[in-house]
Every structure is written in C-alpha cells, then in structure tokens.
Amino acid sequence: MASAPWMLDSQFNPRQGARKDGAPASAQLLEQSHRLSQQMVSLEAENVELQDLNRSLDKANKDKQERIQQLELECHKLRDSAIFVQQEKETAILQAREALQAKQGELMLARKAAEDAERQIETFASDNRRLNGIAEKLQSERSQLQRQILGHEASMKAFHAELQQRAAAEGKSLNTCKDLEQRLQGLRVQNTRLADLAGLHHLEMAQLTQTREELRTWRQRCEELAVELEKSRQNGAWLRDRLATSDAACGQLRVEAEHWRHAEKAAAAKGPRLEEAVQRESAVAQSLRERVADLEEEVVKSQRAQMALEAERENMRSQLAATQSEAKVHAEAASRLAGEKSQAEQLAKLHFAHQQEAERRRAILENDHLPKLIARQQAATSDVGELRARISQLEAENSLLASQLSGSEVVLAGLRSECANANARLMRQHHEDGSRALSRGAIAPATGANLASPAHAAPKMETVPSLPCTCRAATCWPVRRASCELAQETCQSLATCRLRHWRCP
C-alpha cells in the first residue's frame, strides 16, 4: 500500500502545488480555445460533407424515379409480350396435343421398359438380401473372434507365474507384438475390402447377365426391323412399277382422248347421228379422267409412304449403331469384371495365407512372449494407480490455489474501490487548485524563489518509491493525468514506472 498512486501524491504534494501555481492560467485558456476551434472546424467539415451527401441523395432519388418510369414502360411492353407468348403457348399446346397422339406408341414401349426395370429392382432386392446375409455371417464371425480374444486375455492372466523368466527379450517381444498387431489389423481391413469386392463382383455379374439378355432382345428386334425394312423396300418397288404402269396408261388415255376429240369433230361434221356416240365417249373420258386423278393420288400417297419408310430405316440404323456401341461397352465391362474377379481370387488366396501365418505367429506369441506382456500390463496398471494418486494430489493443490485466487480477487476489488475514491479526491483537489490559481490572476514572485531554493528540490531517486500501478482501466486515468507532470520529473530513471508512457494533456 506504500507504492499506491495516492500515497505518491501525498508524498510529493508540496512539489505539485508549486508546479500548479507556476503554470500560467492563460496557457490553459489558450489550449482550451484551440481545442474548441479544432472542434468547430471538424463540425463545419462534417456539415459540408452532410450537405454534399444530401445533394447526392437527391440526385440519386431523381435517377431512381426516372428508372421507375422506364421500368413501368418495360412492364407494359412485357405485358404485351406476355399476351403474345400466351397465344403462342395455346398454339403450342394444340400442337403438343397432336404430338401426344403420336407418342402413345412410344408410351407403350416405355411401359415395357418400366416393367423390365421392375424386374431389375427385384433382382437387386434379392442380391441385397443375400448381401445382408453375408454381412450377418461376417458379424457373427467378428463376435466369435472377439470371444476368442477375450479367452486369450483370460489365458494371459493365467500365465502370470511365468512372467519373470522372459525379462531379457522384453523390448524385442514388444516390437514384434506391435508389428503383428499392425499386420493383423491390415489383414482385417483386407478381409473387409475383399468381402466388399466379392459383393460388388456378384452384383456386377448379375447386371452383366441382365445386359446380355437385353442385348439379345435388341438383336432380335433389329432382325425384325431388318425384315420389315426389306418388306417396305419390296412395297416401294411394287409401287414404283404400279406408278410406271399408271403413267403409261395415263399417256395412252390421253392419246385416246385426243383421238376421240378428232373423231368428235369428224362426227360433228357427219351429223346428229353421232351425237349419242359422242356423249357416250365423253362419259367414258370423264370416268377415265377420274381414274387418272385417283391414280395420281395413289402415287402421292406411295411417295409419302416411301419417305416415311426411309426415315424409319434411318432411325433403325441409328438404333442399331447405338445397340452395337452399348454391346461393346458391356463386353468391355465383362472383361473388366473377369479381371477383377481373378484379382479378387488372388487376394483371397493371399489373405488366407496371411491368416494362416498370423495364426501360427499368434500361437508362437502365446507360448513365448505372452508372460512378458502380462508383466508389462501389470506394471502399467501399477503406474496408472500411482498416476491417479498424483492426479488427486494435484487436484487438491488446484482447489487450494483456487481458494487463494478468490481471496486475492477480493483484496484486488477493495484496492480498486480505494483507488476510485482517491481519484475522486484528487480530481476535486485539482479543480479547487485551478480555480484558486485563476482567482489570483498571477503567481507570487516568492514562489519562483522557493522553487529555485535547494530546500524545495526534488528528492533523490533512491527515496522515490516505485509506481507499480499497471491498471489500464478508466478509474486509474485521472491519477495518471493529475500526476503526469510530477511523474515526468521524478521517474526518468525508473524502468518500472508506467506513467512515463502516457502523455500529459
């Protein structure tokens, strides 16, 4: 408590009073006026910035109003375009309805594909059930291995009597045991990975058989399409022949019509007796014309059918090419699966060999190194007991230190309250001294003489106590502020004083 700031203030009170009487009041007033002028300049600058900001906001508001008008015009345009789009949509709906009737055949094919997919799902479900059975078997094997491990641990406890005979080979046996545990863990990981590979292999084999069946059905369909294409070609050739014969008959009928026109002219010259024959022949010509028109319509229909057959043939060719590429992909997948199957079989053989080797080494370890391991385990348990006792002791010491820390916090709270009270007293005294100096108007000449006399000189550094106040809270700032001038003179050579880092206001 001897090194507190208020104790320092009480020790150097004569020096501080002389210092305050020597300071001119005009300097303080000038400093306050300078600060007020700086604040006024900053306020004016902020006012100018606010006015500029207001103008920019008005300008932005006008721009936004213009933008709103433009957006309203664009909205009207969009409404007109939406009406037009609605009309186009209605026409497209009509076209889609017409196309829907054409897609009903494709819908039947899609239903058939869905039925095939349901069959695939059933096969996948059966494979999943089979894999679940395999997983259950593996889980039972794992539990059996765990029971075996527990039995081995019990046998390790039974071999406690032979513990001291293997002291020489302790380090080597530990290293060997760690290596074997790592290899056993690796073998377990390989076993799980091989089980996963076997399941994936069975699944891919089922998918391959199903793909082969689909490829066979696609080939049959391609053969049927090839037969239909050949029939369509024959029909096209027959229609071409029929078109040629109809063209020839049409030409012949035209020649006959020309002949009958000449005959009609001759008959008109001969007299009324040929009028009846002319009418009969005109009726025959009219029927022939109708027949020619029917033949032309049949020719147009045959051409359209031929074009449709050509398009269907191109579609069948593209489907055949896609089927061939898919068959190649499935063949590559089958070859890859065969390679993976052989690799999995090799890994299974290797895993079986490693498992036999692990069993053999485990038997060797049980016969040779197990007693030493039991000894190490019991030594570790004893060390654990000692560590637990040490931990309990450290916890007791920790609780004692916590109680001491709580007591020191209470003391620190009392010191902070005393510091706040001293700060208030010091600020009150500082204001009273300032008002007293302003009322005097001038400093007495005897004050300078007293300051110059060696009786009022500053004490030596050996007698000045240190200032260990390192609190940076707001309550300690008035102390530093009030005693700043004194601290700058008395603490020039003290490294522990923190007040020299604060500037005097």
Q: What is the pLDDT of residue 17?
A: 46
**For the segment 411-426, what is each residue's pLDDT rounded down to a tens digit?**
667 777 777 777 777 7
Question: What mean pLDDT comes out for the span 287-306?
Answer: 76
Q: What is the DSSP letter of 460?
A: P
Helix 370-440 / helix 170-270 crossing angle, nearest 10 deg? 80
**For the segment 305-326, what is each residue's pLDDT rounded down to a tens digit?**
778 777 777 877 777 777 777 7
Q: What is the DSSP letter of 502?
A: S
User: Predicted confidence band at 465 (pLDDT cuts at 50, 70, 90)?
Assistant: very low
Q: What is the pLDDT of residue 14?
A: 45
pLDDT at 277 over 60: yes
CATH number of 180-368: 1.10.287
Which range has the worst mean pLDDT, 9-18, 280-289, 404-413, 438-447?
A: 9-18
Q: What is the pLDDT of residue 274?
A: 61
Q: What is the pLDDT of residue 8?
A: 40
Q: What is the pLDDT of residue 158?
A: 63
The residue type at 56: S
Residue 361 and residue 180 in contact, taking contact as beta carbons nearer than 8 Å: yes
**Is pLDDT larger for residue 461 or for residue 193?**
193
Q: Which of 82-86, 115-119, 236-240, 371-375 has the highest average model confidence (pLDDT)?
A: 115-119
By percentage, how much of the chain surpasses pLDDT 90? 0
Q: What is the pLDDT of residue 287?
A: 75
User: Predicted confidence band at 301 (pLDDT cuts at 50, 70, 90)?
Assistant: confident
Question: What mean pLDDT comes out for the span 97-126?
Answer: 76
User: Predicted confidence band at 173 (pLDDT cuts at 50, 70, 90)?
Assistant: low
By percentage, how much of the chain surpasses pLDDT 70? 64
pLDDT at 460 over 60: no
**For the segment 224-265, what is each residue's pLDDT rounded down to a tens digit?**
777 777 776 787 678 777 777 767 776 777 777 677 777 667
**64 backbone φψ class: left, alpha, beta (φ>0; ψ -120 to 50):** alpha
Q: Which of 336, 66, 16 is nearest to 197 (CA)?
A: 336
Question: What's the whole-model pTM score?
Answer: 0.21
Q: What is the pLDDT of residue 11?
A: 44
Which range has the worst mean pLDDT, 40-54, 95-109, 430-444?
A: 430-444
User: Predicted confidence band at 169 (pLDDT cuts at 50, 70, 90)?
Assistant: low
CB-count exposure of residue 66 (10 Å: 0-12, 13-18, 19+): exposed
**Is pLDDT larger for residue 141 or for residue 451?**
141
Q: What is the CA radius of gyration of the chain?
A: 56
**Is pLDDT larger for residue 494 or for residue 332?**
332
**Is pLDDT larger for residue 161 or for residue 297?**
297
User: Predicted confidence band at 357 (pLDDT cuts at 50, 70, 90)?
Assistant: confident
**For the segment 29-78, what is each residue's pLDDT rounded down to a tens digit?**
778 777 777 877 777 787 788 778 778 777 877 887 787 777 778 767 77
| Residue written as token pair 């029909």 | 235
pLDDT at 456 over 60: no
Give the tokens for residue 323. Answer: 């089927």
Q: What is the pLDDT of residue 64?
A: 75
Q: What is the pLDDT of residue 164?
A: 65
pLDDT at 501 over 50: no
pLDDT at 488 over 60: no
Q: What is the pLDDT of residue 461?
A: 39
Which range has the worst mean pLDDT, 236-245, 268-277, 484-493?
A: 484-493
Cα separation, 437 vs 24, in Å, equals 8
User: CATH 1.10.287 residue ranges in the chain?
Assistant: 180-368
State the chain's mean pLDDT as an integer: 68
Q: Residue 487 CA to chain centroid, in angstroms? A: 60
Cα separation, 176 vs 169, in Å, equals 11
Residues with Cβ within 8 Å of 482's Cβ and at least 6 positions away in sequence, in order, are: 9, 426, 427, 430
pLDDT at 481 over 50: no
Q: What is the pLDDT of residue 204?
A: 72
**Is pLDDT larger for residue 335 or for residue 489?**
335
Q: Residue 395 CA to chain centroid, in angstroms? A: 44
Residue 372 and residue 173 in contact, taking contact as beta carbons nearer than 8 Å: yes
Cα separation, 402 vs 288, in Å, equals 124
Q: What is the pLDDT of residue 160?
A: 63
Q: What is the DSSP letter of 2?
A: T
Q: Which of 29, 25, 26, 13 is nearest to 436 (CA)?
A: 25
Count of CB atoms situated within 10 Å of the CB of 86? 9
